Structure 1
Amino acid sequence: MSGNVLFAMITRLRDGLPLSATTDHDPSQRVLESKKYAKIISKKASQFPDRCSMFTGSHWLYFISSLGVCFITMCEESYSSVLAFCFLDELQREFISLYDNKRVDNAVRPYALIDFDRIIQKTKQRYNNPMTLNARQKYSDMTLEVKLRPPYRISIDDLEPTGRRNVNGISAHHIPTWQAVNLSDTEDIPKPTNFRRPFSRLDWMAKLLVFLSVLCGTLNLARIMAVLTFGTSPYEPDEKVIVAQAMALLIIAALLSYYQSFKLWTSLGQRSLRQLLACVLVIVCNYSLYKLYWRFLLTAGFHSLVAVLVAWKMRAGSGDFKLPNYTV
């Protein structure tokens, strides 16, 4: 593997304000020309998807955007694209751990967070000497992620102010594809229409919680089937009302458990009020079933605990697979 990371900069997504960048200077004309394209990208990054690459004719530009911040790097032509995205991902994690959204939003002058250059330089040195990287698992994960959700390839024409764009910010004549730098240009890698996290990529705790959540939903449905099989004839009229209420609560609890397991599988790390609401509703349903004498306290506690753990795991994410949005 050859090539180097030459330059990196961090900008605010909404207006392209530079927050930090590498301060070393390469006076070569080709590098200066590619840096101009990087600055144009920083102004237009909000118009493109959250992960893109562009070839300037001399260098590769890669950028990712998340949480209102854009991370851009310029690499030599022979540098691995997967390593470039690993580099950007590490910068993103470090930056988010040091600066909150308020600090980014309140920045009023260029390079207000230039002190982050120290971390950029250290990270760049490690990625320019891959033999010192202790990131085999990270490289493997990023390789898989890039293949599952390929970055968009943009062209210089896409940066032109007169370029025609569709609603997604991509030129009408441009077909986004992903081709790693170290792959042949003729290799055809199809763009997936809908990214879903493979179950095998979840960590052990997420897998366990998915299983327990599905189990809770299945137990609720089994309880309903037991009542339907037994019939409602032994019940008095007043008791039939309680049975109907209990069955409704069981159905709601079952659907919520299945919903939680599905979202944990496909959207781990994405924070949503709907996940919190689902957790609260599961607890309410189980408490109501306990008050109706249709569920033991221990059983109600188990179902509620699983719901709480699933909601917590959704917010905590998984160390084995990136958010991405990323989206971030």
Structure 2
Amino acid sequence: MSMILFACVVRVRDGLPLSASTDFHLDQDFLECRKRLKALSSVLTRYPERGTAKERDLSIHFHSCGEVACMGICASRFPAVMAFCFLEELQWEFATAYDTTSVGLASRPYAFLEFDNVIQKVKSRFNYTSCAPTKLNFDKIQEELRLRPPMQVKLEEAELANGMMNGHAELPLESASTYRMEPVSPVGILSLVLNIMCGALNLIRGVHLAEYSFQEDRKGMGNVIAFLVPFVACFLLCYLYLFYSSARRVKVFVLFVAVCACNFYLHGLRNVWQILFHVGVASLSAHQILTRQVREKQPDCGV
């Protein structure tokens, strides 16, 4: 079984991925560890040149040098000295192939995608050759780790720091624009249809009442507003169901309360069954929004 599962090279100042190994592990722990590594890569400037973070049966190791850091996910039983020997060799190979100017000018993720071949070769050698590092290099790294042990990083703190740097903590790994909702369900489609119907009914009644109020009774403007507010709320509920939005719970609660308050205000213009229908549709829609999960988009980077 492979001891080194994943490796990448990132730019230290902003965590921009420059190259990464192509791995197809579908294990949930590994996928979660990849997300944690990504969060950590964005805050490497907060840490010394070597560090280790534990994630269940996996470990994340990183080694920074100048503008570039090499990071890897290894099995926890893989010796730390071997992991840092691997990262140092990657560091040397990358420094040989690319200068600091090209690293600094990189503007898109995985700008040095071709270095993936080097990562794969070095990774395979360390995974399947017991004497991958030279004796001299092994002793050197071992002595350095003894004198200056790698910092033990808490991944929760790294994720929090990453979220604070991005200006939000709700989705610490990415901006909200890189997330999408899970596929709509049949009940969700029903809630959309009913919401559109309720919104249309509110708009028609509100417009008719507004025409009468402007001509005959200006005191009825409160009722007009009570029809138009639920009209807006219905379509906002549809939007919240279809697209991701931050603070969904608060927005759904405000819209649901607005629909209920306006319908109770309209008691007299609507009978009890009509009011219950509108409130019931709002309840169904709110439930569908809050139970529809967010899923992360897969990065379209070819790795």
- When normalised by structure 2's length, the TM-score is 0.51
Q: Once the 2 structures are TM-superposed, how far is the Cα of residue 57 of structure 1 from its aligned partner? A: 1.5
1:25-64 matched pairs, under 5 angstroms: 25-64=24-63
Q: Distance in 2 between matches of 1:88 and 1:95?
A: 10
Match of 1:123 in 2: 122
The letter of the residue matching 1:77 is S
The letter of the residue matching 1:115 is E
Is the 1:22–1:120 Cα contact (8 Å) retained in structure 2? yes
Q: Once the 2 structures are TM-superposed, how far is the Cα of residue 11 of structure 1 from its aligned partner? A: 0.8
Q: Once the 2 structures are TM-superposed, how far is the Cα of residue 156 of structure 1 from its aligned partner? A: 2.0
2:124 is the counterpart of 1:112: no
Is the 1:61–1:75 Cα contact (8 Å) retained in structure 2? yes
Is the 1:3–1:78 Cα contact (8 Å) retained in structure 2? no
Question: Any idea what the Cα deviations from partners look like across 1:149-182, whole Å, max 9, x if unmatched?
Answer: 111101123213269x9xxxxxxxxxxxxxxxxx
* Identity of matched residues, %: 36
Q: Once the 2 structures are TM-superposed, how far is the Cα of residue 3 of structure 1 from its aligned partner? A: 5.8
Match of 1:256 in 2: none
Match of 1:218 in 2: none
Is the 1:20–1:116 Cα contact (8 Å) retained in structure 2? yes
**SS in structure 2 of the partner of residue 60 of structure 1:** strand
Q: Once the 2 structures are TM-superposed, how far is the Cα of residue 132 of structure 1 from its aligned partner? A: 4.7
Instruction: List alignment gaps of at least 5 residues for structure 2.
Output: 165-303
Question: Any idea what the Cα deviations from partners look like across 1:114-155, whole Å, max 9, x if unmatched?
Answer: 100111000001111232525122111111110011111011
Q: Distance in 2 between matches of 1:119 and 1:67?
A: 20
Q: Distance in 2 between matches of 1:65 and 1:131?
A: 25
Structure 1 141/87 Cα, relative in aligned 2: closer, same or farther at 3 Å?
same
Q: Distance in 1 between matches of 2:2 and 2:121?
A: 17
**SS in structure 1 of the partner of residue 22 of structure 2:** coil
Match of 1:10 in 2: 9
**SS in structure 2 of the partner of residue 160 of structure 1:** helix
**SS in structure 1 of the partner of residue 130 of structure 2:** helix
Is the 1:9–1:71 Cα contact (8 Å) retained in structure 2? yes
Match of 1:66 in 2: 65
Match of 2:140 in 1: 141
Is the 2:81–2:142 Cα contact (8 Å) retained in structure 1? yes
Match of 1:88 in 2: 87
**Root mean square deviation of aligned Cα:** 1.9
Is the 2:57–2:75 Cα contact (8 Å) retained in structure 1? yes
Q: Distance in 2 between matches of 1:14 and 1:134?
A: 29
Equivalent residue pairs, number: 163
Q: Distance in 2 between matches of 1:80 and 1:144?
A: 14
> Computing the radius of gyration over CA atoms, which structure comes out larger, 1 or 2?
2
Is the 1:63–1:88 Cα contact (8 Å) retained in structure 2? yes
The letter of the residue matching 2:75 is E
**SS in structure 2 of the partner of residue 108 of structure 1:** coil
Is the 2:5–2:23 Cα contact (8 Å) retained in structure 1? no
1:14-25 matched pairs, under 5 angstroms: 14-25=13-24
Match of 2:160 in 1: 161
Question: Any idea what the Cα deviations from partners look like across 1:34-88, whole Å, max 9, x if unmatched?
Answer: 0001101110111111110000123100001111111100001110100000000
The letter of the residue matching 1:93 is W
Q: Distance in 2 between matches of 1:142 and 1:117?
A: 24
Match of 1:204 in 2: none
Structure 1 99/78 Cα, relative in aligned 2: closer, same or farther at 3 Å?
same
**SS in structure 1 of the partner of residue 8 of structure 2:** strand
Is the 1:34–1:58 Cα contact (8 Å) retained in structure 2? no
Match of 1:231 in 2: none
Is the 2:36–2:159 Cα contact (8 Å) retained in structure 1? no
Instruction: List alignment gaps of at least 5 residues for structure 1.
Output: 166-328
Q: Distance in 2 between matches of 1:107 and 1:121?
A: 22
The letter of the residue matching 1:98 is A
Match of 2:203 in 1: none
Give the structure with the larger helix fraction.
2
Q: Distance in 1 between matches of 2:45 and 2:4?
A: 23
The letter of the residue matching 1:78 is R
Match of 1:245 in 2: none
1:180-195 matched pairs, under 5 angstroms: none
Is the 1:3–1:79 Cα contact (8 Å) retained in structure 2? no
